[in-house]
């Protein structure tokens, strides 16, 4: 039995190829049935995300194993093998185990340390189990991987620092305000970045969330998800004074919040401080706003500096995480090697038990026919000894004929001979 990891990812293939090799949820079960019907495949897990498609398999080792698996992948997706082959990577046994642990820990992600991949790996494992039995080795590999990913999160700072603009904006807000549960937040825009910001803020239970957008329909969809109030861009002037935090990201060619608007809001707030995070390009907030007392303005460049600093921290944490993967994958491989010994011991015991049962049955038959019990016992002991030492004796003789002193010593050790 061999463990394999075969796949492509964002490092080896463009999105145009990745999307053609992906397994959608609607075809996953059929794909697994097809994969497991291959005679060399014992069991498997398919991981398919926007950034990677990977097959984790326990297989019977064969000379043309790689060729046959690549051919299956290409045939299933109706792809030319040459188009796929140069983007594929192939890991076996310890390398496959290490790769899965690195993937689940976020060490192989497009964004180093991102946490979503662990959930995706867990879902792939659960989906692949549904209706398909996994080998004990493959199941143990995934369970071990989940504990390793948890250990990496617990013992390192791999996921502690913001490395996306949306997350950095929320991190900045949490650093300035002791608790977000007592603040009002105005989000300007309803695009992807603002969606991420809104979800982060909802997790931190902000007191009130207001979304201002040019088109209400998109804003209302997001507002329903995060429990926010929706206003139009024209309403910002009247509602700006309600906001302790303003985070803006639109595609407007002109600033939406000007110095005069902010001055009126600060006056209405009796100069209670306001944090403004402008992550739009072109900028949504006039730079002069940052010069006003009690208006603290951060641009996308300010956030980028935070992100770069945090990425350096993640890279340092990744070194520690890699050492955890090396240690844990080594422990798993030790367990895997021990499993092969367990199977060998089981087979040896079964063989010895079969010999004993056969000779015992013959001895009992002789006694029932009136044979001398002492002679029956002597014959039983003699035959049992000869049968049990037959295979080791042949191995010793062959090693001696070959002049293989190392094997001879190994056999002596196995037989308990000094």
For the annotated binding site for substrate, the residues are 49-52, 109, 114-116, 120
End-to-end CA gap in the chain = 34
DSSP state of 132: S
Name the active-site residue from 15, 50, 281, 365.
50
Ramachandran region, residue 189 (left: φ > 0; alpha: ψ -120 to 50; beta: rest): left
Its sign, for the CA torsion 178, 183, 189, 193, is positive
Q: What is the 3-state secondary structure (H, E, C) of 187-225?
A: EECCCHHHHHHHHHHHHCCCCEEEEEECCHHHHHHHHHH
Helix axes 136-155, 116-129, angle to 10 degrees: 160
List binding-site positions for NADP(+).
189-194
Query: Would you call 74 a catalytic residue per the annotation?
Result: no
CA distance readout (Å), 154 to 54, 105, 148, 196, 391: 26, 11, 10, 24, 52
> What φ, ψ does residue 56 adopt, rounded to 5°?
-110, 120
Give the residue numbers annotated as catalytic, written as ranges. Answer: 50
């Amino acid at each position: 039995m061999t463990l394999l990891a075969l796949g492509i990812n964002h490092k080896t293939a463009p999105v145009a190829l990745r999307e053609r090799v992906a397994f959608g949820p609607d075809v996953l079960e059929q794909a697994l049935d097809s994969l497991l019907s291959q005679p060399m495949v014992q069991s498997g897990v398919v991981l398919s995300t926007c950034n990677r498609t990977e097959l984790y398999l326990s297989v019977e080792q064969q000379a043309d194993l790689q060729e046959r698996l690549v051919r299956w992948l290409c045939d299933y997706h109706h792809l030319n093998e040459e188009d796929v082959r140069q983007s594929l990577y192939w890991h076996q046994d310890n390398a496959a185990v290490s790769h899965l642990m690195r993937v689940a820990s976020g060490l192989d992600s497009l964004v180093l340390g991102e946490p979503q991949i662990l959930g995706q790996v867990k879902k792939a494992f659960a989906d692949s189990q549904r209706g398909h039995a996994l080998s004990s080795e493959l199941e143990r590999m995934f369970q071990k991987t989940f504990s390793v990913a948890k250990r990496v999160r617990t013992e390192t700072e791999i996921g502690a620092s913001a490395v996306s603009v949306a997350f950095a904006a929320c991190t900045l807000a949490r650093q300035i305000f002791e608790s977000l549960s007592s603040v009002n937040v105005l989000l300007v825009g309803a695009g992807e970045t603002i969606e991420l910001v809104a979800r982060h803020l909802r997790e931190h239970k902000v007191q009130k969330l207001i979304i201002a957008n040019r088109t209400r329909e998109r804003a209302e969809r997001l507002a329903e998800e995060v429990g926010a109030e929706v206003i139009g861009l024209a309403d910002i002037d009247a509602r700006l004074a309600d906001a302790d935090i303003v985070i803006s990201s639109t595609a407007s060619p002109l600033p939406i919040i000007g110095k005069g608007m902010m001055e009126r809001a600060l006056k209405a707030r009796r100069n209670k401080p306001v944090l403004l995070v402008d992550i739009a390009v072109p900028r949504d907030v006039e730079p002069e706003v940052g010069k006003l007392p009690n208006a603290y303005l951060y641009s996308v460049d300010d956030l980028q500096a935070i992100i770069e600093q945090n990425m350096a921290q993640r890279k340092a944490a990744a070194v520690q995480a890699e050492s955890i993967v090396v240690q844990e994958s080594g422990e798993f491989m030790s367990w895997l090697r021990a499993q092969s010994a367990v199977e060998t011991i089981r087979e040896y015991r079964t063989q010895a038990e079969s010999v004993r049962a056969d000779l015992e049955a013959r001895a009992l038959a002789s006694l029932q026919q009136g044979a001398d019990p002492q002679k029956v016992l002597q014959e039983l002991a003699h035959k049992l000894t000869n049968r049990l030492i037959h295979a080791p004796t042949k191995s010793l003789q062959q090693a001696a004929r070959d002049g293989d002193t190392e094997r001879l010593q190994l056999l002596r050790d196995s037989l308990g001979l000094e």
